Amino acid sequence: MSTVAANAPGVAGSGLQDVAASEASLRRFLHGLPGVDQVGLEARAAALGTRSIKTTAKAYAIDLAISMIDLTTLEGADTVGKVRALCAKGRTPDPTDPTTPRVAAICVYPDMVATAKDALKGTDIQVASVATAFPAGRAALPVKLADTADAVAAGADEIDMVIDRGAFLSGRYFDVYNEIVAVKEACKRPDGSYAHLKVIFETGELQTYDNVRRVSWLAMLAGADFIKTSTGKVAVNATPPVTLLMLEAVRDFRAATGVQIGVKPAGGIKTTKDAMKYLVMVNETLGDDWLSPHWFRFGASSLLNDLLMQRQKLATGRYSGPDYVTVD
Amino acid sequence: MSDTTFARLDVLKTYKLYVGGKFPRSESGRVYEVTDSKGEWLANAPLGTRKDARDAVVAARAAVKGWAGTTAYNRGQVLYRVAEMLQGRREQFAAEVALSEGVGPKKAAALVDAAIDRWVWYAGWTDKVAQIAGGANPVAGPYFNLSTPEPTGVVGIVAPQAGYGHSLLGLVSVIAPAIATGNTVVVAAAADAPLPALSLGEVLATSDVPGGVVNILSGRTADIAPTLASHQDVNAVDLTGAIAADGPGAAQALEAAAADTLKRVVRPELDPFAQDWTNAPGTDRLLSFLETKTVWHPMGI
C-alpha cells in the first residue's frame, strides 16, 4: 500500500523513497523536520499582508482570484436546484460583464456530483467532491473508500478528502499515510487516470504549527496533488500563517523531489483584501509557477461576491453593493 | 517638597469619526483644523476620506436589518433616550454651537433646546407615521388591501452647512427623520462646523441606538458626498448641505450621480443660506425615505 508515492519519479532518487517504508522511519522523518519559528512565521505572514495592490495590478489580482475559486456549497440543506444555481454562477459569475473569468471548480457533496457535472457540461470548470466522511472523517476505511469511489464514478474531477485527525494527533502517522494512499487508489478511474486528490488537514484542530508542517510532508509523501487547510466547518479555518507554512512545505518538497504540489486555503476568506494577501504570499514564497488555478485555489463561497463587487467598482468607478450580486 | 505649583493641563479632546458604533480615526490618519466664526483655531477634526465613507456604508448596511426590524414603539423609546442624553450635555453643545456658528450663549442655548425638542418630536412620530403614509385601500374584491410604509435602507446625508442653527439643530433635523422610520444613515457633517456633529456621535453611542444606525464623518464634502451619491449600496441621499456652486460636491453633480443608481433624492433649498432651521419641519423629510409595501389578505379567514 505504501508504494504509490514512494515509487513516483520525483520521490525515487530524492532520498525520500524509504521514508514511508515503515511506521518508525516515517515517524523519525516527520519528527526530524525542523521546528517552526512561530513568532517569525506570524510576523512574516503579517508583513506580507501589508502590501498595497492598486489599479491594474488589482484588476489582475481580482481576475486571477476569481479564476482560482473552488465555489463551494457544503450544507446539509443543499438541493439540486441550489447546486445548479451555483454552477450557473460559476459559469457566468457576473452576468452583466462577460469578460469576468470563470471559477476553477464547483465543490459539492458526493451525491451532488452528477448534478454539478451535468450543469457544467461544455465548460472546463472542474467538479470537486468532498469525500471520506467529510467533515469529521470519522468512519471506517471501507466506508471512506466507497464514498470516494462513488464520487469518482459519478464524474468528480477532484476529490477533497479529510485526514483522520484523531489518528494524526495520537501519533499514528502511518495509519494516516496509508489512508491517503488508499484513497488515492480509490481515485483511480477505469481508464487508468486519477481524479485529482486534495487532502484536507483541518489545521484548526492540529494545535501546533509543527503539526501542520509534519502533516503537509506526510500528505505530499503519500501522493496528495493538493494540500488544503480546512473544511470550513470548525471555528478556526485558513489563516495566513498556516497557509504560509504550507506554501513553504510545497516549495521545499519540490526542491527535494521535483514534484509540484498545489495549495488550497479554505474557509474564512471572505474579502478581496484577504484574497490578495494570499496571492501576495504565494508570489513571494513560490513565485509565478504557482500563480495559476492548477496550483493554487481558494475554497470559498462568499468571497466571489466581494471580488465581483470590487471588479464592478474598478469598471464603473462606483462602489457596488450586495444588491448587485446574486444571493446564494 | 518644592513650593512651585504647577497649573493643571486641560485634557484636550481628540475628535473622532463615529462609524459602526465605534470612534475610529480617519483611515487616512489626517486631520484638518476647525476654526470658529472668527477664524480662531478650535480643534482638529478627522479628515474623513472616500474609504471612510465606504466603510461607513458597510456599517450602515449591516445595521439596517436590526434597526428596521425593531418595533416602531421601541424605536421611539430609543430616540427619546437620545434626547435625554442630549439634555444632559446641554452646556457642552451650547458652547460648541456658539463657537461654530458665532452666535451668543443665549441664542446657542436656545438652539440646543430646539434641537432636543425636535429629537423628541421625531421620536413621537415613529409609531404614527404609518397612519399618515399607509392605510387600507378600497379594492373590488373580497380582500383587505393594506399599504404600510417601510424604510428604504441606507440613507446618505449631506448635513446642512448653512442657515441659522445648522450645526446642531439642522443636523438633528436631517438625521432624526431618516432614522425614525427605520433607515440607517451615513452623515457627511458640515465641513466648517463638525464639532457638534462629532459630539452627537458620543451622545448616540451612550444611548441605545445600535452601532451603525448613525455614522458620522467629518471631512471635505467634495470627497464624501460624491462617494455616497454614487455608491450602489446607498438607497437614498439627502443633499441638504450641498451648497457648492459647481464641482463634485454641488447638488447638481450629486443628483446626477444618484440618478445612475436610482436613488431617492432630497434636494437642497433654493437658497440654503437663508434657511432658518428653527422653523417647524413638517413631515416632508419623514416621508422622503419610505417605500410602500402593499399586502392583500383574503377576507373571512
Instruction: Show the cell assigned to A177.
Output: 499515510
CA A188, CA A181: separation in Å to the nearest integer?
11
Residue B12 has a pLDDT of 86
Residues with Cβ within 8 Å of B87's Cβ and at least 6 positions away in sequence, in order, are B116
- Among this protein's residues, is A89 annotated catalytic? no
Q: What range defines the domain where residue A233 resides?
A: 19-324
Total-model pTM: 0.86
Pair A252, A287: CB distance under 8 Å: no
ipTM of the complex as predicted: 0.77
Residue A294 lies inside a defined structural domain of this protein: yes
Q: Of the candidates B219, B205, B273, B228, which has an alpha carbon nearest to the alpha carbon of residue B54?
A: B228
Inter-chain touch A322–B227, beta carbons under 8 Å: no
* pLDDT tops 60 at residue A215: yes
Residue of A94, A160, A164, A274 marked catalytic: A160
A321 CA: distance to closest CA in chain B (Å): 4
Would you place residue A123 in the very low, low, confident or very high pLDDT band (cuts 50, 70, 90)? very high
* Residue A241 φ/ψ region, left for φ over 0, alpha for ψ in the -120 to 50 degree band, beta for the rest: alpha
In 3-state terms chain B splits into helix, strand, coil percentages (rounded to 5) of 45, 20, 40
The DSSP bridge pattern shows strands B290-298 and B143-151 to be antiparallel
Residue A126 lies in a domain: yes
Say if A3 falls within a structural domain: no
pLDDT, averaged per 10 consecutive residues of chain B (301 residues), comes to 77 93 95 91 95 96 97 97 96 95 95 97 96 94 95 97 95 97 97 95 96 97 95 96 88 94 93 92 95 93 70
Residue of B nearest to A323 (CA): B233
User: Which residues on chain B are in Cβ contact (under 8 Å) with A323?
Assistant: 232-233
CATH superfamily of B31-298: Aldehyde Dehydrogenase; Chain A, domain 1 (3.40.605.10)
- Domain-embedded: residue A180: yes
- Chain A residues inside the 8 Å CB shell of B231: 318-319, 321
Contact B231 A322 (CB under 8 A): no
A252-268 per-position pLDDT tens digit: 999 999 999 999 999 99
Domain residue ranges in chain B:
31-298
Give A-chain residues touching B260 at CB under 8 angstroms.
318
Q: Is residue A162 part of a domain?
A: yes
Is A77's pLDDT higher than 80?
yes
CATH number of the domain encompassing residue A51: 3.20.20.70
Tell me which DSSP letter residue B210 carries.
P
Cell of B186: 451615513
Residue A3 pLDDT: 42
Task: Identify the closest residue of chain A to B229 by CA–CA distance.
Answer: A318
Closest CA–CA distance from residue B260 to any residue of chain A (Å):
10
CA atoms within 13 A on the CB side of B93: 30
Cα–Cα distance measured from residue B134 to residue B116, given in angstroms and rounded to the nearest whole number: 28
What are the tens digits of pLDDT across the range A153-190?
Answer: 999 999 999 999 999 999 999 999 999 999 999 999 99
Digit-coded pLDDT (tens) for B208-250: 999 999 999 999 999 999 999 999 999 999 999 998 888 888 9
Active site residue A264: yes
pLDDT at site A195: 96
Q: Minimal Cα distance from A321: which residue of B?
A: B233
Q: Cell 441550489 belongs to which residue?
A: A82
A277 is catalytic: no
- Chain A residues with a Cβ under 8 Å from any Cβ in chain B: 312, 317-324
- What are the two backbone dihedrals, phi and then psi, of residue B231, each rounded to the nearest 5 degrees? -65, 130
How do residues B20-45 score in pLDDT, each as one tens digit? Answer: 999 999 999 999 999 998 889 999 99
| Number of structural domains found in chain A | 1
Res A11: pLDDT: 62
